[in-house]
């Protein structure tokens, strides 16, 4: 039975970059959860955090992931935000429905990848390196619960995507 491939990892780990490539390789859909939430609220993630708070965003994120897994007629590729997997019960809620793949990235590499991005509510521009290290320390125990891990440091987007495609074929029925 084919399962959705659900990508988890830090901001800058490559979820939104490799997701469309994986989906194209497998001939399926890709959903960037943050983009759907931005459409729903009519505002970027940073503004949602400011206006409505993190709890509201996380509730919308959990709802969007559930909808993508349960309401789509076939499995695909799903990329929630970096904090989704660190919410209590998030990974267990998708067990059996999705192959969770942790795109493991060092804090330093992740900061370099998001250098020009302004839509990172938990990563202030002033000291992103410290904030990213703190996020990694808090979230890695959750990310580590994923069914598979791919190290992304020093790898290009096509290489990471190819590794995920291989996992999808060998462990998620593709």
pLDDT in tens, 156-169: 999 999 999 999 99
Q: What is the pLDDT of residue 42?
A: 97
Tell me how far apart the alpha carbons of residues 48 and 36 are, in angstroms, rounded to a whole number: 12
pLDDT of residue 125 exceeding 70, the answer is no
Predicted pLDDT at 128: 79
Domain boundaries, the chain: 4-171
Q: Give all strands (DSSP E) within 91-164, no chain letters.
A: 98-104, 148-151
What's 4-171's CATH class?
A: alpha beta
CB 2 within 8 A of CB 172: yes
CA–CA separation, 138 vs 133, rounded Å? 9
- pLDDT recorded at residue 6: 98
| CA 126/CA 139 separation, integer angstroms | 21
**Residue 165 Cα to chain centre, angstroms:** 16
């Amino acid at each position: 039975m084919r399962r959705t491939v659900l990508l988890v990892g830090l901001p800058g780990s490559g979820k939104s970059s490799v997701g469309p490539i994986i989906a194209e390789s497998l001939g399926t859909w890709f959903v960037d959860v943050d983009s759907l939430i931005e459409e729903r609220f009519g505002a970027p993630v940073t503004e949602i955090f400011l206006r409505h708070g993190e709890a509201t965003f996380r509730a919308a994120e959990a709802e969007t992931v559930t909808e993508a897994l349960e309401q789509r007629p076939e499995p695909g590729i799903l990329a929630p935000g970096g904090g989704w997997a660190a919410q209590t019960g998030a990974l267990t809620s998708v067990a059996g429905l999705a192959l969770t793949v942790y795109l493991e990235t060092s804090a330093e590499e992740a900061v370099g990848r998001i250098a020009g991005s302004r839509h990172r509510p938990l990563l202030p521009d002033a000291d992103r390196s410290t904030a990213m290290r703190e996020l990694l320390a808090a979230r890695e125990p959750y990310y580590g619960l994923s069914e598979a891990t791919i190290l992304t440091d020093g790898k290009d987007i096509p290489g990471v995507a190819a590794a995920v495609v291989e996992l999808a074929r060998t462990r998620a029925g593709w």
